[in-house]
Structure 1
Amino acid sequence: MQLQKPHKSRSRQHKGSTNKSLNRSNSCDSHSKGSVSSSTETPKVDLSKLETTALWRYWRHFNLNSSPNPSKEQLIDAVQRHFTSQQLDELQVITGFVQAAKRLKTVCN
């Protein structure tokens, strides 16, 4: 039934997660305080570990402007700047990931 009404279940999950976030931020528990402060930090992603072909795909997909024949270091720099500039809604990303995992599980079973 949740799969038939994804919009309705998303808003319910959103309200519940908002309440949980508020409860965590008001908590005196040191673990909760640590998770709240860490959520404001930008996670570091080491894009230099990607192969050059993956960097090229990213560069082409997002039409990043750079020199016509960039080196791997220039690709890493351009991709890193673009990647870190992206704004996202963590709740939406997590919800989408869970839904995709459920769809994949349904298809594979």
Structure 2
Amino acid sequence: MEEKLTVDFQQIEMLGGLACAEVKEILDDYLDSLDETLEGMSPHFASGDSGAVREEAHRLKGAAKMCGFVALGEQFEALENEAEAGRLPEFSPWSVTTKELAQATRRKMAEASSK
């Protein structure tokens, strides 16, 4: 996978930074809930419900960008645009890529926290 900017630490600093327990908890909660959220989207992909996929992608995009999770925000923005156009990718490969981006985001967060 091509290396992308995964985390915007300036955005996280604007929220209060990783040293702030509340900010760290919000960021961790977003990442921790992502697998379950993605699985919840699976039936919408299977039924071709592009409206439901678009709404969920829009919500996840906004939250990712607010958290400073650049690559995830871009992934959900691309999905939102595809769903808006009535095109949905195959769920399994798309979700694998999204989970890989989440893992890369976790690694960047861990690296930054250990400094």
Fold equivalence (TM over 0.5)? no
Q: Structure 2-normalised TM-score?
A: 0.30
- Output the TM-score relative to the length of structure 1: 0.31
* Higher normalized helix content (fraction of residues): 2
Q: Which has the higher contact order (CA 8 A, sep 6+)?
A: 2
- Structure possessing the higher radius of gyration over alpha carbons: 1
